[in-house]
Amino acid sequence: MKILHISEYANGGISTYINSVVAHQHPEHDVYVLISDYNSQKKYDIPDEKIFTYPYKRHPKHFLSAILHIFRKIKEIKPDVVHIHSTYAGLFTRLIYFLVKKDVKIIYCPHGWSFLMDVSEKKRKIYAWVERVLSRKTDVIINISQYEYNQSLEYKIPADKSVVVYNGVPGEAQIQELDAIPSKDKINMLFVGRFDKQKGLDILLDVFSRNTFPNIQLYIIGGGVLGDVNVKFPDNVVHLGWIDNKFLDSYYAKCDVLIMPSRWEGFGLVAVEAMKNKKAVIASNRGALPEIVLHGKTGYIFDISKPEQLIEILRTLDKSKLTEMGLNGYEAYKEKFSAERMNKELLECYV
């Protein structure tokens, strides 16, 4: 089978997801990747000659060029299956087939529906209408959580084309020595993500700037994606910058707990990465996070609109309890969130 994966800004969780999928598919199938040349991770576990880019930045003046580049590459590769990742790539690729005959199987995964973002209801309705129109040129729509699936049906995305395939991450952890060694006499807390509204870093930093947590050391991995972001870090926070994905397991291994104060999440891949490394997770009550993190068992869930709930959780953290939760999380990871399970289910969508 010849498979082409298409994405727009392939970085962070999207690039991790794509690499896991193509690495699994490559030995048995003829696999290609097509991504934007700007703001994308360009190394994947397939031969370099099968990785292509198209010139693009996220602005309407680049949309037509992106559509034409994608169309030309599809005609050149002649795949059996086109697996599209994320909203903009879904728009560019599927628009083509309103003008030409569709001769490939189209698999679309939004990796978080645009109409479930923290936007006005008017924008949600517009985004949902666009997705419904584009669904006419889609064979299978992959939702990355039950929450995403249920909400998509509320917005009238076709149920007969929709499935749920939980994200998964590979089980092999690559542990290496770190230059920054967390404190052994404190609870080491880790945030991993982009510095944007979705990930809620501003909420977390505000809590730490207004409160003292003498038993907690907070480490921040990440940075701005769409240009420079000016973030002021309190004295009790250490910013580590962007870390190569291959080193992330080492940081998860050294921390005691991961924190995710997201405003919305279609899934929450870093939560699963932490669980794979036997770490507890503190997460907001938004999107799919309560599906992944079981309150009191694999971590804690707090209402993001009530910072006092997060403060109370932080003040009562206990290392031994976090260790127990981390072990519970690892069992949940093996049962529901392994890459093997995800990749098997994806291939079933292709046939």
Per domain, the residue ranges of the chain are: 2-170+338-350, 187-336
pTM: 0.83
Within the chain, which residues score under 50 in pLDDT? none
Report pLDDT for 181: 61
* Topology alike, domains 2-170+338-350 and 187-336: yes
Percent over 90 (pLDDT), the chain = 81
Q: What is the CATH number of domain 187-336?
A: 3.40.50.2000
pLDDT of the residue at 340: 93
Return the pLDDT at 118: 83
312-332 pLDDT per residue, tens = 999 999 999 999 999 999 999
CATH of 2-170+338-350, one of 3.40.50.300, 3.30.1490.20, 3.90.1150.220, 3.40.50.2000: 3.40.50.2000
Average pLDDT for the chain: 93
pLDDT attached to residue 180: 65
pLDDT of residue 184: 77
What percentage of the chain's residues is helix, strand, coil (to nearest 5)? 45, 20, 40
Give pLDDT, residue 82.
98
The pLDDT assigned to 18 comes to 94
Pure H helices in the chain: 12-25, 63-77, 87-95, 121-134, 146-154, 201-210, 245-254, 269-276, 289-292, 307-315, 319-336, 339-350
Rg of the chain, C-alpha, whole Å: 20
